[in-house]
Structure 1
Amino acid sequence: MTLLITILALLTLVAVAGCIARWLPRVPLPILQVALGAVCGWPQQSVHLALDPQVFMLLFIPPMLFADGWLISKRELGAQSLPVLMLSVGLVLATVLVGGWGIAWLVPSLPTPMAYLLAAVLSPTDAVAVSAMVQGQRMTARLQNILEGESLMNDATALVAVKFALAAALAQHFSALGAAADFVRVAAGGIAVGLLFSLAADLLLQALLRGREHRTELPAVLLMLLMPFAPYLLAEHWGLSGVLAAVAAGMGASLLAVRRSGFNASQVRTRATAEVVRYVFDGLVFLLLGLQLTGILHALPDQLNLLDSPLSPSALRLWGTGLAILLLLLAIRFAGFLGAGLLRRHVPWLRRRSSGTPMSLATAAIGAIGGVRGAITLVAVLGVPLTMADGSPFPMRGLMVFLSGLVIVLSMGLAALALPPLLRRLPAAGALHDPHAGREIRWARRCSARAALRALAALAAQAPPQGPADMHRDICERIDHGYRHRLRQDGPAADADGRSQSRQLIALELRLRLEILQAERHELARLRLRHRINDETLRLLTHELDLVEAAVRNTH
């Protein structure tokens, strides 16, 4: 009963945070959710929930990363694949090596292996946190795609780094060559599992829905909502990257959906349900982060207790250490973004393969600050064992947990405060998406409309399957008068012949409308497959067609 009340309280807090965000539009919703969780978790008799890292990863991470993989524009991600790869691999390794050395210098009491372990824990940016923090910001599409692509791809590198840093801290054997081979195996295997599962799941769903595409099949909706968990569990069971498996499954499912341009009522219902589930899960993640803050403070050694004397000299040094670590991470990210820009500018092969304008100082600063730490970092540090191999307590574990939590909160606060003024300094600041997105959407609408007109002309030229020849003309003339004919069909005063003719007219109108809508879908899919439009444009216009078809079917 207590667990049920706790879950209901958390869901209520998610709704309360959303209501507060309407009154404070300048404060990012994740900041409000973390603050609300911290406030509610501070009193001893309030909401408290122990966070099991493995349960947290399984319950929250797969569906959110699957959704990010589905939603991210694959065309733009492919165009920025080189900077994303350099940041998701090279920047993580630089953070571990340079950051570990810097943390060991900043915190002399922390053993060197633990300093490198803490740097590995802090190396990944969190895809959920990054997406939530940049949502609604006036950020160029290129930079947003780089940040979101990096946060999706760097988890595998970071988790492998954590694994080997932990092995070194526990005085086990460490091999750089073995670490590199293990990273390739874990990352490539996770991606392969995700792609293969998305293909198998697509074949299974098509078999289940064959002949029932126009009806909402609730079992199929449930299977679609559960789809992110299976590739994650399979990859983790085989010792591969479950994180990358969930991302790859989302990308693969999205690409397969592009090639099926037909109407699917179950997918329309799944999309609406998934939006609610994603909103709830996003809110729960940040609320749980806030609820853990009190426990993180209690995890500190007694001599560093911040609850009794938060402004003592030792406490101030501890706060300053967390801020210094964040500044060190920002400096590494800033140098990484500038280094990637310099490589692209001076290496001909990279220059030919890259797209976009050169990296400016303002862009590098935004990229550094936009690398928000979140749930992945907290889960990784809470997964550090309590004891060493010989049974002795793990040294400075409480300090590592506290510093990780402090960096998470500070990185979110800094992004909320610094991103808006920095984004205004960009010369092309003006929209969240590409400035050509509006023209692209209008152009795609015209293409699909012309396809509909061509289909209508072809259908009008055909002999009618039944009824008089002028029925086609009558349908074209009375599209705007459908309600009158529906009333006439069901009117008590209509004779049998009138009702029969009206049923024929409405059935023909329904068929013509559905074939026209299908022609629009085929045209949009063709444009996407030829990379003339991106995933976002396709998703927007296809969703409009799905809503129109659902309305047409329900009113006929």
Structure 2
Amino acid sequence: MHTVETVLLVLMLGALTGIAARYVRAIPLPLIQIALGALIAWPQRGLHIAFDPELFLLLFIPPLLFADGWRIPKREFFALARPILLLAFGLVLITVLGLGYLIHWMIPAMPLTVAFALAAVVSPTDAVAVSAITRNLGMPHKTMHMLEGESLLNDASGLVAVKFAVLATLTGVFSWSNVAKDFTWMAVGGLGIGALMGWGFSYARDAITRRVGDVAATQMVLLLVLLPFAAYIVGEKIGVSGILAAVAAGVATNFADLDRSNFISERLQTEGTWNMVEAAFNGAIFLLLGLQLPSIIGVTLMDAGHEGWKLVGYVAVISIALLLVRWAWITLGVHGALRKAHREGKMAEKPSHLLNLATTMAGIRGAVTLAAALSIPVHLHNGRPFPERDLLIFLATGVILFTLVLGAIALPLILRRMPPHEDTETQLEERNARTVACKAAIASLTLTEEDMQQHDEQWVAQYQEVVGRITQEYRNRIHLLDDSSGVATSTEAQRDTPEMVHERRQRLVKEMELRVRCIQVERDALYAERQAHRINDEALRAMVSELDMAEVSLRKRLAVACRAAGLKPGKTAA
């Protein structure tokens, strides 16, 4: 099959499996995609794709890590910096050393440096798979943020560890001082070059959009999509971590976006573009992983014959040891940092044995592990084969499957046993922010003496009439926000009886539903005009986009109003 046809097929299957996962909720999306990839690659006449690890790391990993760095809540990331760093760097070091010696002891034919390489290969975690498995199961928000932060950083630390272990195997020389020096340079240099490129892009974008506004939104979004690839390539060219460069570029760009509240079109396009990129690339990654399974696991087991069960046993021992090391590190090394974060209010959920167990089972391995395993060179410098390379790839792939299947079974069971958790702190912050925004909008409507002198009485009367209607709408929203918190803050609200409050909420719900209905009627009329050839496609898209944004905003307010009134959306207060 031609390369272009293969790419299109993988993207199509990724989209179809994403739709199928909405109907088969019992099976996580990554497992569906891996199983489908293995199915279409098996048997001999199936689809086979040559997996180039360097090309894979360049095409798939930078944009996904950039998007994670761009999306991850920065306040929570820095508030939980200590446990994240302990997991991303401390746990990787412990895993490489402890698991490396265990593998060498269990498989004497595998040299110690190769065993360290295998331990480094299986050290990075995959937050994408965890998110797909725990969706709608109640994984605490702060814990999920911590796992995302860990995955962002341990991809880089794990791959750097693989590089040093492979180098020690190739040269036969290993120096802790050189490792520490090179690791520091790669980490700090990667973060620095990524942040510099992110801020540089943001500065250039601001300079351009100050002149042309949102006219160049599409071009800016395209350049933003190319930014993680540029950061990765530049980082690798100068000898630092390209992965950390992509992450840092995403974080820096997100900070710069905080000053771009007026660029609505660019923001909507950016959000839609990244949603599509993440869905397409995540699906392609797991499908490619499944496509490699027959050639890695199936062929290896058939060649091993009766020794195949021993290889499966190696996979089970390594996977269980990997999770035990993770559990011990979380319990002994990270638990104290989590308790401190909880006492300081940085983490809502209190650390417990169940939470530690859930965090342990969330240590699922994924595509980065496979790419790292396949990146192991085929030959040494002297031309001899790399020791036990095929076995290393088989064991790494087996660990991916073991942790993914175990996580898909164990995480839902653990999360269901945990007490229900509601992020009330974030909800309160959002409610307060909405109230502040409403009050600021009301304050901006005040008519000054200078304005009254510049206009006649009729203009002032019309303005005040409009202001009165808009102000009343904002006051209704403020009352709704105050009442939903259970605390009456205004004198008027304190005098209201529960019946009056409920009646006002019902009126507000009815008004919003009528506004949504009017927007839908407008949209239908616009499509009818287009079908009658009275407007063109460009005008249709522009006007429908305005109505879509208005409806999205109104529906969010309607959902809040319905919850406060005890109604379901669509069930009016008639």
Matched-pair contact (CA < 8 Å) for 1:341–1:359: no
Aligned equivalents of 1:121, 1:10: Cα separation in 2? 25
Is residue 445 from structure 1 mapped to residue 437 from structure 2 by the alignment?
no
Is residue 417 from structure 1 mapped to residue 406 from structure 2 by the alignment?
no
**Closer/same/farther in 2, CA of residues 462 and 238 from structure 1, 3 Å limit:** same
Match of 1:87 in 2: 87
Deviation per CA, 1:76-130: give whole Å up to 9, x if none: 1111111111111110010001000111222233222211111111111134334
Q: Which amino acid aligns with 2:461?
A: D
Aligned equivalents of 1:450, 1:353: Cα separation in 2? 28
Q: Report matched runs for 1:14-25 at 5 Å.
A: 14-25=14-25
Matched-pair contact (CA < 8 Å) for 1:213–1:266: no
Aligned equivalents of 2:357, 2:211: Cα separation in 1? 53
Match of 2:565 in 1: none
Q: Report matched runs for 1:311-330 at 5 Å.
A: 313-330=306-323
Aligned equivalents of 1:129, 1:397: Cα separation in 2? 26
Q: Report matched runs for 1:41-120 at 5 Å.
A: 41-120=41-120
SS in 2 for 1:388: coil
Is residue 186 from structure 1 mapped to residue 186 from structure 2 by the alignment?
yes
Matched-pair contact (CA < 8 Å) for 1:299–1:401: no
Matched-pair contact (CA < 8 Å) for 2:209–2:216: no
Aligned equivalents of 2:303, 2:174: Cα separation in 1? 41
Match of 2:370 in 1: 378
Aligned equivalents of 1:423, 1:461: Cα separation in 2? 61
Match of 2:497 in 1: none
Alpha-carbon distance, 1:190 to partner: 0.7
Deviation per CA, 1:436-467: give whole Å up to 9, x if none: 32232222211111111111225798349778
SS in 1 for 2:445: helix
**Closer/same/farther in 2, CA of residues 137 and 238 from structure 1, 3 Å limit:** farther
Matched-pair contact (CA < 8 Å) for 2:83–2:338: no
Match of 1:456 in 2: 445
Report the number of matched residues: 479
Aligned equivalents of 2:432, 2:450: Cα separation in 1? 27
* TM-score, reference length from structure 1: 0.79
**Closer/same/farther in 2, CA of residues 439 and 44 from structure 1, 3 Å limit:** same
Match of 1:401 in 2: 393
Aligned equivalents of 2:169, 2:134: Cα separation in 1? 35
Alpha-carbon distance, 1:474 to partner: 5.2
Aligned equivalents of 1:464, 1:374: Cα separation in 2? 69
Aligned equivalents of 2:174, 2:336: Cα separation in 1? 31
Alpha-carbon distance, 1:426 to partner: 2.4
Q: Which of 421, 424, 449 does residue 430 from structure 1 map onto? A: 421
Structure 1, unaligned stretches of length 5 or more?
301-305, 488-512, 518-536, 542-556
Matched-pair contact (CA < 8 Å) for 1:120–1:161: yes
Aligned equivalents of 1:451, 1:102: Cα separation in 2? 62
Aligned equivalents of 2:329, 2:255: Cα separation in 1? 31
Deviation per CA, 1:182-229: give whole Å up to 9, x if none: 111111111111111111101111122224334463222211221221
Matched-pair contact (CA < 8 Å) for 2:302–2:308: no
Matched-pair contact (CA < 8 Å) for 1:338–1:359: no
Aligned equivalents of 1:279, 1:308: Cα separation in 2? 36
**Closer/same/farther in 2, CA of residues 458 and 366 from structure 1, 3 Å limit:** farther
Q: Which amino acid aligns with 1:8?
A: L
Structure 2, unaligned stretches of length 5 or more?
471-510, 523-545, 551-555, 561-574
Q: Which amino acid aligns with 1:417?
A: I
Matched-pair contact (CA < 8 Å) for 2:342–2:348: no
**Closer/same/farther in 2, CA of residues 165 and 354 from structure 1, 3 Å limit:** farther
Alpha-carbon distance, 1:477 to partner: 6.9
Q: Which amino acid aligns with 1:450?
A: K
What root-mean-square deviation, in Å, do the aligned CA atoms of Structure 1 and Structure 2 show?
A: 3.2
Match of 1:10 in 2: 10
Q: Report matched runs for 1:125-144 at 5 Å.
A: 125-144=125-144
Is residue 470 from structure 1 mapped to residue 470 from structure 2 by the alignment?
no
Aligned equivalents of 1:354, 1:270: Cα separation in 2? 30
**Closer/same/farther in 2, CA of residues 221 and 463 from structure 1, 3 Å limit:** farther
Match of 2:540 in 1: none
* TM-score, reference length from structure 2: 0.77
SS in 1 for 2:460: coil
Matched-pair contact (CA < 8 Å) for 1:64–1:128: no
Matched-pair contact (CA < 8 Å) for 1:138–1:420: no
Q: Which amino acid aligns with 2:322?
A: L
**Closer/same/farther in 2, CA of residues 356 and 338 from structure 1, 3 Å limit:** farther
Matched-pair contact (CA < 8 Å) for 1:299–1:398: no
Is residue 366 from structure 1 mapped to residue 355 from structure 2 by the alignment?
no
SS in 2 for 1:457: coil
Matched-pair contact (CA < 8 Å) for 1:65–1:128: no
Aligned equivalents of 2:257, 2:344: Cα separation in 1? 31
Match of 2:285 in 1: 285
